[in-house]
Amino acid sequence: MATTRCARVGGDSRVDIRRAVCVARRVRRRGRVGLAPDVSHGCAFFNGLLGEEYSMFHQIKPGHVLRFEVDPGGIASPGAAAALHRQDISLETPWPTTSSNLGIVQVLSHTSEPIGKIAADVAKKLDFSLTRLTLYSRPEPTATPVGQMLGFQNCDFVGYTDGKAHYINSNNSVFSKDFSGCTMVVYTQAGERRVAHVAASADREMNCKQAFMTRIRNNGAELIGWFKPYDAEDFARKMSAFGVISKYVGGDINRLTTFGVVTAANMAYSLDAFKPVGVGTNNWVVTYIALCHLNRDWNVP
């Protein structure tokens, strides 16, 4: 049976890192990637094997801030088909190129006011790290310098629509969002790398997961892997985080978003983040991140 679970970054990992390294070695990295030099030492081994994109994402912790050049919260879905129950759920549907690039995405630590206090509150209550609790509890200016950038990348985006499987052609790291059981699939078609968000549903006629996999396999795709950024057993985790951040999102749990991320080196992450109400437009505070196993099984449960 395919492994679908993810392991928290920095914790005990159930992910087969050796396999991930082998996959990453076969991938040619393209696009704009950066890493602050003063934070690279902690991942020196993986930097050498997987490159900077692994190091940047693997350093993200609760309380860090994702600053998007283009806010993913403002990207609207093109909408479901008019006749959902008569459409072909196996189809590959291109995601609109007008909303497929997020520009530069930065990872920031100890950001300035007003989001700084919110991020610090999340770090102290959800990271469970004594070291970070101590750092965030110090009065300024003795804490880590404000606005420390841990890294940046030019990232792309593929979105979700009911009853569809959207994909983009991309050699960059790719974000997607609004997961509740959908899969994120990475594959090549005629030598071109594609990343897809494949809709899941309790309604068989709208559940694309297996139909999509069968279609791309029959079309000659080479599967790099798939994963579920969110599954039913993750609900307790999100509720726990919501208890901490509810006052920052107007009591609306739907504002705590689950992202799926596949890096340019084909490392997969599940990431929960929220955009505080009334605090800018492009800053998202991270509450959870986990490294996920990319399954190479063509059968999706």
pLDDT in tens, 163-196: 999 999 999 999 999 999 999 999 999 999 999 9
Confidence at residue 249, expressed as pLDDT on a 0 to 100 scale: 96
pTM: 0.81
The answer as to whether 83 is a domain residue is no
Please determine, for residue 156, whether its predicted confidence score (pLDDT) is greater than 90: yes
For residue 23, is it within any domain? yes
* pLDDT class of 22 with cuts at 50, 70, 90: very low
CA dihedral 66, 8, 75, 232 (to 10 degrees): -150
Q: Is the pLDDT of residue 210 over 50?
A: yes
Residue 82 within any structural domain of the chain: no
> Is residue 259 situated within a structural domain?
yes
280 against 72, higher pLDDT: 72
The SS3 assignment for 57 reads helix
> Residue 78: inside a domain, yes or no?
no
Output the pLDDT for position 139.
Answer: 52
* Structural domain includes residue 31: yes
CB neighbours of 82 closer than 8 A, spacing ≥ 6? none
**How many CA atoms does the CB half-sphere of 228 hold within 13 Å?**
17
Mean pLDDT value across residues 26-36: 43
At residue 79, the pLDDT reads 66
Is the residue at 85 inside a domain? no
Backbone angles phi, psi at 111, to 5 degrees: -70, 165
Answer yes or no: are the C-beta atoms of 188 and 221 closer than 8 Å.
yes
Quote the domain boundaries for residue 43: 6-70+93-292
Q: Side chain identity at 43, as an amino acid letter?
A: C
Please report whether residue 87 resides in a domain: no
pLDDT of residue 13: 38
Q: Is the pLDDT at 135 greater than 60, yes or no?
A: no
Q: How many domains are there within the chain?
A: 1
Task: Specify burial of residue 31 (Cβ count, 10 A radius: 0-12, 13-18, 19+).
Answer: middle
